[in-house]
């Protein structure tokens, strides 16, 4: 059983692909979140943007993990950036379960040059433990592999698997 749980929501597959890579690199469990809403097409895009702006959340569909959330040493939450915020699905997860997390890390997938790093602090409002590592990635950007590897390094250090370079 892994000490790390990777959870994500992905509307168009970018966050899914990245979280699959991260879970594979860390040998972590991987679980997809959904609120069951059809977010495809133009109306799905609009609804997602409005949900993010209004901070509207629905109760997410039940998900299964190998052990209770509090028993993972680290939960990594992956979400697309919507209107400068995390997705309403990630927000819904944090609202419902943020207090159960022992330690958290965030992976943002974005479409613009702007890293939207203020989203980390928005997400921390729901997690008393805060975050030990975070990264904002754009899949087609030149720095993608570099920043993903840097995130993995931060995680390995926080897990005590790798020493920090002096
Ligand atoms: C409603 C909506 C709002 C978005 N707002 C932003 C934004 O504010 N900043 C940004 O960089 N990307 C924004 N994006 C782009 C997504 O974050 C980006 O395409 C991401 O890679 C999608 O991930 P996914 O394929 O896992 O759904 C937005 C996308 C949607 C659907």
Among 20, 26, 1, 19, residue whose Cα is nearest residue 156: 26
pLDDT digits (tens, 9 = 90+) for 56-71: 999 999 999 999 999 9
Residue 154's pLDDT is: 97
- The residue segments making up the domain with residue 110 are 4-158
Atom of ligand 1 at shortest range from CA of 8:
26
pLDDT digits (tens, 9 = 90+) for 70-115: 999 999 999 999 999 999 999 999 999 999 999 999 999 999 999 9
- The count of structural domains within the chain is 1
Residue 161's pLDDT is: 94
Contact 78, 151 (CB under 8 A): no
Per the prediction, the chain carries an average pLDDT of 97
Which DSSP string do the residues of 52-90 spell out, in sequence order? HHHT---PPPP---SS-GGGSSEEEEEEEEETTEE-HHH
With respect to residue 165, please indicate whether it lies within any of the assigned structural domains: no
Ligand 1 centre to CA of 81 (Å) is: 5
User: How are beta strands 104-109 and 4-8 bridged, if at all?
Assistant: unpaired
Residue 83, sorted as left (phi over 0), alpha (psi -120 to 50) or beta, turns out to be left
pTM of the model: 0.97
Burial (CB count within 10 angstroms: exposed 0-12, middle 13-18, buried 19+), residue 118: exposed
Determine whether the shortest distance from the Cβ of 136 to ligand 1 is under 6 A: no
Atom of ligand 1 at shortest range from CA of 12:
25
Residue 166's pLDDT is: 63
Determine whether the shortest distance from the Cβ of 64 to ligand 1 is under 6 A: no
CATH number at residue 19: 3.40.50.360
With respect to residue 166, please indicate whether it lies within any of the assigned structural domains: no
Determine whether the shortest distance from the Cβ of 127 to ligand 1 is under 6 A: no
**Greatest C-alpha distance within the chain:** 50
What are the residues whose beta carbons fall under 8 Å from the beta carbon of 89, sequence distance 6 or more? 9, 33, 34, 35, 57, 60, 79
pLDDT digits (tens, 9 = 90+) for 31-55: 999 999 999 999 999 999 999 999 9
pLDDT digits (tens, 9 = 90+) for 129-145: 999 999 999 999 999 99
With respect to residue 21, please indicate whether it lies within any of the assigned structural domains: yes
């Amino acid at each position: 059983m892994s000490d790390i749980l990777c959870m994500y929501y992905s509307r168009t597959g970018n966050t899914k692909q990245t979280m699959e890579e991260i879970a594979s690199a860390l040998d972590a469990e991987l679980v997809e979140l959904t609120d069951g809403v059809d977010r495809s097409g133009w109306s799905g895009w609009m609804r997602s943007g409005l949900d993010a702006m209004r901070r509207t959340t629905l109760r997410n569909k039940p998900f299964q993990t190998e052990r209770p959330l509090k028993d993972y040493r680290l939960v990594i939450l992956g979400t697309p950036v919507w209107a400068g915020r995390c997705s309403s699905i990630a927000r819904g997860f944090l609202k419902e379960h943020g207090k159960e997390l022992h330690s958290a890390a965030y992976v943002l997938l974005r479409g613009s040059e702007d890293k939207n790093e203020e989203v980390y602090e928005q997400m921390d409002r729901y997690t008393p433990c805060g975050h030990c590592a975070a990264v904002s990635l754009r899949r087609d950007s030149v720095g993608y592999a570099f920043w993903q590897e840097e995130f993995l390094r931060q995680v390995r250090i926080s897990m005590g698997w790798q020493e920090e370079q002096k």
